Amino acid sequence: MDKMYRLIIFDMDGTLLKERTIFRIAKEKGFLEKLISIMEEKIKPYEKTILIAKLLKCMDIEELIKIFRKIPLNEGAEFVIKKLKEKGIKIAIATDSYQIFALDLKKRLGIDFVFSNELVVKDGHVTGEIKICNNEPKFINCKQHSICKKEILNELCKKLGIRKEETIAVGDGEIDICMIKEAGLGIAFNGNEKVIKNADVKIENLAEILKYVVD
């Protein structure tokens, strides 16, 4: 029997968006090689997040937002969010990208909640510092990533009075696995084999999510 879902959490980069925000910015601002070098370092993901933020130091935030807005949405993103909202399902974004960009997408799509890392901005320019989501006391400190999407799912369930079984989580990366496994329905969107293995279903178009939502 199909379940009635009340909350859906999306990853942002590579799931709602076709590209990864920091890679698009790196290409346009000319620091792609430095970014790739950090990504290849044998350090924990949250440490990479801190180092990558330093690459943005002194950059104009309005220019970065303009670059962000050039990133196309994945096919079906606007349609599926519109339909989910019509069904009264709460929608959240959980991303290890930056809050200022996630909030911009939240406004554009009518998302209910956003959880992300906060890029520190002063006088309209990035300082190079970042406040990672897992430093917030209400979240259990993840020893690997800058954000624990499983804890975000549980926090939202508590806030909204929703059972885990009534949630859907959608993502494409290994950072999404914890929430994919925790949700009532875990969906791998074009993820690698490890992500797919930990998901309940795999989809290639976001509109396929609507098959699992009861009218």
Q: Is 90 part of any domain?
A: yes
CATH number for the domain harbouring residue 31: 3.40.50.1000
Can you give the pLDDT at residue 215? 64
Instruction: Enter the tokens of residue 205.
Output: 């178009």
Low-confidence ranges of the chain (pLDDT < 50): 1
User: Cα separation of 68 and 13, whole Å?
Assistant: 11
Structure tokens at 29: 């601002």
The phi and psi torsions of 60 (rounded to 5 degrees) equal -75, 125
Residue 1 lies in a domain: no
129 located within any domain = yes
Question: Which one of 2, 13, 112, 200 is the catalytic residue?
Answer: 13
Domains identified in the chain, total number: 1
Q: Assess whether 176 carries a catalytic annotation.
A: no
Range of the domain at 102: 7-212
Residue 14 domain-assigned? yes
Instruction: Note whether residue 2 is domain-resident.
Output: no
Q: State whether the Cα torsion 157-162-165-167 is positive or negative.
A: negative
**Token pair of 28, please?**
């346009």
pLDDT confidence of residue 191: 80
Active-site entry in 2, 11, 96, 112: 11
Q: What is the pLDDT of residue 141?
A: 58
Our answer to whether residue 60 is catalytic in this structure is: no
Distance of CA 6 to the CA centre of its chain: 19
Determine the Cα–Cα distance for residues 154 and 177; give it in Å rounded to an integer: 14
pLDDT tens for 94-150 read 999 999 999 999 999 999 999 999 999 999 999 999 999 887 655 555 678 899 999
In a domain, 123, yes or no: yes
Amino acid 1: pLDDT: 37
